[in-house]
Amino acid sequence: MNRFVFIAKMLLIGAILTSCNSKNKETAEQKDSVKTTSKTPDSAKKTIVFFGNSLTAGYGLDDPSQAFAGLIQKRIDSLGLSYKVINAGVSGETTSGGNSRIDWLLKQPLDIFVLELGGNDGLRGIPVSETRKNLQAILDKVRAKYPDAKLVLAGMQIPPNMGQKYASEFKAVYAEIADKNKITLIPFLLEGVGGESKLNLPDGIHPTAEGHKILAENVWVRIKDLL
């Protein structure tokens, strides 16, 4: 074959391949464009804030998105609801620490506020009156800044090692606050998980990924009607 003819053929093949690749790229870009524009921008979505301690933060999990707040986001996405979840959990947080931190968090708008604090108060034996005061202060600040926001309180219980009287008073404070403020109550966030060794990490306090699936369900049944 004449060398020039061969080169000409190769150039023609190259041009054809380039044209095909270009068309494929355009098609892919068009698909991506359609896919992107079909999604609701985060700025247009309502916001759910989970404000808590290590339970919310997903302490001990390989991936924080495996924590119940992240699982709630996945459930919301699967249903096509226009909400974004913000995980504002900090390991070791007490109600006092939360009361100090909430002002900074309230700089961003929110539509649903889920308060999950108090567990560390109970483990440290902090007076129930102090826990009550801090939880109420946090709720007051949220309501003052965003009066139309829907508020949710996640109840907590502790083992009776601090004394049965203290444990009973601690458990009761959540229902008292929820009733006083007329807000949604999750009776016991760790229902079905607390005390179950197979659903908790070796420390016996923090849920495994499987445990968080149950927590997510405990939360979902209470907040789904708020969405």
Q: Beta strand pairing status for 150-154 and 112-116?
A: parallel
Q: Is 212 an annotated catalytic residue?
A: no
Q: Is 197 an annotated catalytic residue?
A: no
Which of the following is catalytic: 19, 54, 78, 100? 54
Which of the following is catalytic: 62, 63, 148, 203? 203
Per-residue tokens: 139: 């709720």
H-only helix segments in 58-163: 68-78, 95-105, 119-124, 128-145
d(CA 226, CA 218): 14
Helix and strand totals (H; E) in the chain: 8, 5
d(CA 162, CA 158): 8
Contacts of 178 (CB under 8 A, 6+ apart): 153, 155, 184, 185
Q: How many residues does the chain have?
A: 227
Q: Is 54 an annotated catalytic residue?
A: yes
Catalytically active residues are: 54, 203, 206
